[in-house]
Structure 1
Amino acid sequence: GFSPSNLLNFYFQKMSLLNATRRHPSKLRLCYVRFLSSFKYEDLQITITDKPAPKPDNDSLKFGAQFTDHMLEIDWTAQNGWGFPQIKPLEAFKIHPAAKVLHYATELFEGMKAYRGIDNKIRLFRPMENINRLTSSAQRTALPEFDKGELLKCMKKLISIDQEWVPYSEKCSLYIRPTYIGTEPTLGVASSNQAKLFIIAGPVGPYFPTGMKPVNLLADPKYVRAWPGGCGTYKMGCNYAPTIAIQDLAVKKYNCQQVLWLFGEDHQMTEVGTMNLFIYWINENGEKELITPPLESGLILPGITRKSLLELSRQWNEFKVTEQNITIERFKKALFDGRVKEVFGAGTACVVCPVKKIVFKGEDLNIQTSDDATSLTQRFFKTINDIHYYHKANNWMEAVEEDEEESLRTFESQ
C-alpha cells in the first residue's frame, strides 16, 4: 500500500494538476491523453493477408532481410490519444516529408527474439525487459506512454498469427523489432504531437553459421559512442548512425570486425560495437573476476543479455562479479601480466562473441581464445541457448499462446 509520504505526494500532484487546469482548461484533456491513456488489446483489429509469402529455408536466412506476413501498427495523436491497435498485412506506410522522425531523429526501437522450443512451443526471452527499456527510451524522446502489458499482449498475438515463421530449428529464431517514431508533419525542434508505434518481425539464422568465431576490435580514442548526460543508455536510432563510418573504417583499414568504444582521457573501455563488454580475468588481488562497465555512468546500454549473464554468474557463485569502469591501460597491464582469460561482447544477436585482438594506437593486443566447452564464453553461450530452446525450463522464457484459427488460415492459403 501507499506510505503516508507517497499519499501526500500524490495529493499535491493532483492539486497541482487541478490548479493548472483551472488556469488553462484546454490543457486538461491533453495532459491526461499524453500520460494516462493507452491502447488496449481488447480493441485489437486483425486483418489477415490473402497473399502469404513463402517461408524461406533456414539455410538462406539473412539478418533483417526477410519478414513475416503481418505487422502491428498503432497511431497516437495529442488530440485524440491512442487509436486502435491493428495487426495487418506487412506494407509500407506513408509518411509526410516533414515528419519529426525524418529531421530530428525522434525514434527508438528494440531488438528481441522468439524461439521454438524442443517441445514445439514458442516463447519470448524476457520480453518485459525489452518493453521496459522501450518505454524508458520513449520518455527520453518525449513520446507518449502506454500500458506495457497491453503492448506485450498485442505482440504475442502478432507472433501467434505468424507462428509458422518461427523457424523449426535450434539454430534459428524469430527476430522482433518494435519501433516508435514521431510523425507530426511540422518542422521545428519540439516534442511530436503525432506518433506511430509498430512491430515487424522476421526469421533469422545463427549469428555464427559455422561455429563461434572470435573478432578483432579497433579501439580509437578519437571517437566516442556516448557521453555522460547523453542518450547512450537508450536504444535510439540516433546512437547508431554516427558509428557506421567508424565501423567501416575498422573493417576496411584495420581488418577489425567491430569497434571497441573508449571514453575519457583515461580511455575507459565501454562497449563492443552494439554489444556490452565483458572481461574475465585474474584481478590485482589474485581473484577470478568477471567485470563489465557499470550502468550508472550513462555510457552503457542496459542490455538484457548483459543482465542475464550477470545474474547467472552470481547464481553460480564461482568467481567475483563486478560492475566497474576499466581503462585500457589497466587492461593492457593485466594482459601483459598474463591475467586476462577471456574477453567477449554480449547481445541479443549473438548471445556472446569472443574477442581475439584489440588494435589500439598501432599496437595489437592479442587475447587468448578457446573453443573448449569449459571456457566461460562457451558456457554462457550454451546455458543461454539451452534456456532459449527450453532444454532447461526457466521463467525468463514467456510462452506465446498459439492462435490456431488465424495461423491456419494463413498457412492453408499458401
Structure 2
Amino acid sequence: MTELKIDITLASSRKPKPDFDHLEFGKNFTDHMFIVDYTEGQGWHDARIVPYQPLTLDPASMVFHYGQTVFEGLKAYLTKDNEVLLFRPDMNMKRLNRSNDRLCIPKVDEEMALSALKQLINVDREWVPTAEGTSLYIRPFIIATEPYLGVSPSKRYKFIIILSPVGAYYKEGINPVKIAVEREYVRATIGGTGNAKTAGNYAGSLKAQEVAEKEGYSQVLWLDGRENKYIEEVGSMNIFFKINGEIVTPVLNGSILEGVTRDSILQLLKHWNIPVSERRLSMEDLYQAYKNGQLEEAFGTGTAAVISPVGELAWQGEKMVINNGQTGEIAKKLYETLTGIQLGTEKDPFGWTVKVEKQESANLL
C-alpha cells in the first residue's frame, strides 16, 4: 500500500455514551470511523478519519451483487492502569489479507493499517468501556464499490474500520450453551470460501441458526460439506473437545476459519503441557466417546465470546449432556488466563498484547 497521510476530521458533537454496565454486543458505535479508498492503477488513497456516518454507494456497486467483501474482528481492552491493549492484532491483519487474496481484493499494508487502527482508537479512546467483561470491538472491513454488473473483480474498494463498545456476545456469558448438530445445511466446503472471513459464509449460516434457536439452542455445530460426518466449527467459532484427558480440535482443512483465539488456545495448552491434537473427528467418534464416558468437556473459541463452554449437544435425537452441563476446568482456566492476558492482569509469556500509546506518532497508512 502506498504510504498516505491520514486526514482527521473530528465530529462537531459527540454521541451520548451507553451504559457500560449494560452493553449489548454490536449495538452501539463510536463517534468516528476510518476510511481509505482503492482505485486500480492508483492504489489505496485518501486515507481519513471522519465522523461516523452512513455510506453513499452506487446501487450497482459490486458488493451488493457479487458479495466481494471481507471483514475482521478484534478487540481493545482497558487495563486497571487505564492503558488500552490490543490482542494479537497482527494476526487479524494477516488473516484479512488471506481473505483478500481468496476474494480477489487488493491486499493492505498490514503495519500501516494497524497504525491507522491505533490512531482511530486514540480519537475515540473514551469509548473503551470500563465495566468488567466489556471491551471495544473493532470491525475492519473491505467492500467492492465499482458500479458494474459484470462478474469480475472490482476495480474500486473501500477499507473501513468502525468501533463498538461491547459486553458479552452470548447472554449466557461463560456459562455453558446448548448446541444442535446441523444435519441438513453446510457452512462451507473444501475449495470454497470457508477459510476466508467473508460475508457470504455468515449469510449462508443464518437459516440453520434460525431453526436451532426456535428449538432452544444457542448455535449449531457444523459438519463437513462433503461427507456430512466430520466436525468443523460451532456457529461462528472454532470448537474444542476434551476426550479422555486430551484436547482435540478439528484440523484446518481449507473450509475451517483459522481463528486467532484458536491458535492462542493451542499455544496455551502446549505451554501447560496438556495433551492437545489437531485431527479429523467424526460425529460418530465423538458420540462413542460420550457413550464411553470419555467426553469430558467441549467449548467454542472466538474473538467475540473468547471461550463458550458447550453443556449439551443434540444429535440424531440424542441429547449429549457434557460435564453435567457445567463449565469444565480447562475451559474455565483458559478463559481466565486468556482474558487476564488481554486485560494485562496475567503475565503474557507470548508477547501477544500490543499497547495503544496515547500519542501514536505514525500518520501514515
Fold conserved between structures, TM > 0.5: yes
Counterpart CA distance in 2 for 1:309 and 1:139 is 26
Q: Kindly indicate whether structure 1 or structure 2 has the higher relative contact order, using CA contacts under 8 Å at least 6 residues apart.
A: 2
- Pairing of 1:151-300 with structure 2 (within 5 A): 151-207=113-169, 211-252=173-214, 254-263=215-224, 264-265=226-227, 267-282=229-244, 288-295=245-252, 297-300=253-256
Farther off after superposition, 348-357 or 76-85? 76-85
Q: Secondary structure at the match of 1:83?
A: strand
Q: Which residue of 1 is the match for residue 334 of structure 2? A: 380
> Quick one: which amino acid aligns to residue 289 of structure 1?
E
Structure 1 residues 245 and 325: alpha-carbon distance in aligned structure 2, compared to 1, 3 A threshold? same
Asked if 1:366 corresponds to 2:321, the answer is yes
> Quick one: which amino acid aligns to residue 261 of structure 1?
W
User: Does the 8 Å contact 1:100/1:183 carry over to 2?
Assistant: yes
Shift of 1:370: 6.5
Farther off after superposition, 207-216 or 324-333? 207-216
Counterpart CA distance in 1 for 2:73 and 2:172 is 23
> Quick one: which amino acid aligns to residue 275 of structure 2?
K
- Pairing of 1:2-151 with structure 2 (within 5 A): 38-40=1-3, 43-151=5-113
For residues 286-328 of structure 1, what are the alpha-carbon distances to aligned partners after superposition, in whole Å with 9 as ceiling and x for unaligned?
Answer: xx21110111x112100000000000000110x3110001001
User: Does the 8 Å contact 2:299/2:331 carry over to 1?
Assistant: yes
Q: Which runs of 4+ in 1 moved over 3 A?
A: 207-211, 369-372
Counterpart CA distance in 2 for 1:294 and 1:301 is 10
Counterpart CA distance in 2 for 1:101 and 1:303 is 25
Shift of 1:220: 2.6
Asked if 1:315 corresponds to 2:277, the answer is no
Shift of 1:371: 5.3
> Quick one: which amino acid aligns to residue 389 of structure 1?
L
Structure 1 residues 298 and 186: alpha-carbon distance in aligned structure 2, compared to 1, 3 A threshold? same
Counterpart CA distance in 2 for 1:385 and 1:118 is 13
TM-score, length of structure 1 as denominator length: 0.83
User: Does the 8 Å contact 2:311/2:325 carry over to 1?
Assistant: no
Counterpart CA distance in 1 for 2:2 and 2:185 is 41
Q: More helix by proportion, 1 or 2?
A: 1
Shift of 1:231: 0.7
User: Does the 8 Å contact 1:116/1:170 carry over to 2?
Assistant: no
User: Does the 8 Å contact 1:214/1:369 carry over to 2?
Assistant: no
Q: Which residue of 1 is the match for residue 306 of structure 2? A: 351
> Quick one: which amino acid aligns to residue 356 of structure 1?
G
Counterpart CA distance in 1 for 2:162 and 2:2 is 18
> Quick one: which amino acid aligns to residue 299 of structure 1?
S
> Quick one: which amino acid aligns to residue 295 of structure 2?
V
> Quick one: which amino acid aligns to residue 289 of structure 2?
A
Counterpart CA distance in 1 for 2:109 and 2:172 is 41
Q: Which ranges of structure 1 fall in alignment gaps of 5 or more residues?
A: 1-37, 283-287, 406-414
Percent identical among aligned pairs is 40
Shift of 1:245: 1.1
User: Does the 8 Å contact 2:25/2:168 carry over to 1?
Assistant: no
User: Does the 8 Å contact 2:21/2:131 carry over to 1?
Assistant: no
* Larger-gyration structure (1/2): 1
Shift of 1:212: 2.2
Structure 1 residues 311 and 369: alpha-carbon distance in aligned structure 2, compared to 1, 3 A threshold? farther
Counterpart CA distance in 2 for 1:370 and 1:216 is 9
Counterpart CA distance in 2 for 1:383 and 1:111 is 20
Counterpart CA distance in 2 for 1:107 and 1:135 is 12
Q: How many residues align?
A: 358
Counterpart CA distance in 2 for 1:375 and 1:72 is 41
Structure 1 residues 157 and 365: alpha-carbon distance in aligned structure 2, compared to 1, 3 A threshold? same
TM-score, length of structure 2 as denominator length: 0.94
Counterpart CA distance in 2 for 1:44 and 1:97 is 28
User: Does the 8 Å contact 1:161/1:403 carry over to 2?
Assistant: no
> Quick one: which amino acid aligns to residue 58 of structure 2?
H
Farther off after superposition, 271-280 or 257-266? 257-266
Counterpart CA distance in 1 for 2:243 and 2:172 is 27
Q: Secondary structure at the match of 2:312?
A: strand
